[in-house]
Amino acid sequence: MSLFSKLLRLRSTEKEEFHTEIVAQVLRQSTSLTFRWLKTIHATSFAHFEELRVSSQEELDPLSSHEGIGSRPDIVIRIIQGDQIEVVFVESKIGSTENPGQLQKYAEHLEAQNATTRCLVFITRDYEPKEPPDNTHIEFVQQRWSDFYRFLKQQPIIDAMTSELLKFMEENNMSQSNQFTAVDILALTNFTKARTLMDHTIRESVARKFRKICGAKCSDATVASTQLRKFKRYTLYCSHGGQIEVHLGYWIDDTSIGNCPTIAVRMFVNPTAASSESPSPICIRSRIRSKTTIVSLME
C-alpha cells in the first residue's frame, strides 16, 4: 500500500480532494515538469516561461450571473512570460461526475481572469465526454488520469513523492490502459448474468414492499442502468419531490479487483430542503447471499 493510501485512511478527507493536493504539490515542486505536461496536452501556447505558479482549491467570488455562489477549481496554474500571462484551471474527477453547469461556471470565471490566454482542463478517471463550454475565448482540454499517469512514468527522473503518487494512482484505478485484461473479459462475459441477478433480488416482491414503505413510485430498470453508469450503483429508488430519495440495491466498489459489492438502503436529503440536516446517507449493509437478504433489510 502506498504512503498516500495509508495517510488517507487516517483522515476523513474526500479521496478527490486528497488526490488533488498530492498532484498540486508534485506540479508545484517541479515547474519544468508541469510545463512539459501542459505542452503535451496542448493546454499552453507558450514556448517558454519565466515563472509558473500552482495553487489548489482557490476560492473565486461569484460573478453577477452566478446567483451568489462562488467557485473553487481544484488546481490553478499561472504561467508568466514577459508581460504575458496564461491561466489554466484544472478540474479533477476520480469518483464523482461534473456538477450541473460546473464547467460552464469555470469557463466564465476564466474569461474574467486578467490573462493573455486561458485554458480549462477537465481530467477524469472514468470516461465522461464533455462538449466545450459556451465560450469562445478559452481553450478546453479533456484528459484522463491514466494519461497523466503514463506521462509521469515516462519521465527520466522520478522523485520519491512522484513515485508514491504513481502507486496511489495504481491503487485507485487511475493507471488503466486501453487493453482488456483477463479479468475485464470475464466481467464483460458475465455482466448480463450479473445484472439479471441484481434485478431478480431487488424487484418483484422486494420492489412492492419498498414502494409500500416509501410511499412513492419506484424507478425502473432503465434508470438503474443509468445509475450504474453514472454513480456506480444499481438501485431502486423512490423520490419525494426531489427533496428526499431512498435507494435500495447494490453499490459497486471498483477500487480493487477483490472488493465485494455492498447491499444497502440509503436515504439522501436535499441540503436545500426545509429543516434538513446535512445529506449524510443512512446505510444498512450486508453481504450478497440471496433475495431474502434484501427482504430482511426491509423488515
The 10s digit of each residue's pLDDT in 47-105 is 999 999 999 999 988 887 777 778 889 999 999 999 999 999 999 998 778 888 889 99
Q: Are 227 and 281 members of one domain? A: yes
Owning domain of residue 77: 3-171
**Residue 65 cell numbers, joined:** 450571473
Q: Are 99 and 76 members of one domain? A: yes
Helix H or strand E encompassing 167: helix 160-171
Closest CA to 248 of 274, 282, 273: 282
Between 171 and 141, residue with greater pLDDT: 141
pTM of the full structure? 0.67
For the chain, how many structural domains are there in total?
2
- What pLDDT was estimated at residue 84? 95
Q: Are 139 and 269 members of one domain? A: no
Confidence band for 165, pLDDT divided at 50, 70 and 90: very high
Q: Is residue 150 part of a domain?
A: yes
Q: Are 52 and 150 members of one domain? A: yes
Q: Is residue 178 part of a domain?
A: no
Q: Are 82 and 162 members of one domain? A: yes
Last residue of a domain, one of 171, 194, 224: 171
List, for residues 176-218, the tens digit of each pLDDT value. 766 677 777 888 898 889 989 998 888 888 888 888 888 878 8
DSSP string, 28-85: HH-HHHHHHHHHHTT----S--SEEEEEES--BPPPGGGTT--B--SEEEEEEETTEE
Last residue of a domain, one of 141, 171, 201: 171
Q: Is residue 78 part of a domain?
A: yes
- What pLDDT was estimated at residue 292? 41
Q: Are 62 and 153 members of one domain? A: yes
pLDDT at 122 over 60: yes
Last residue of a domain, one of 119, 136, 171: 171
Q: Are 156 and 214 members of one domain? A: no
Q: Are 20 and 157 members of one domain? A: yes
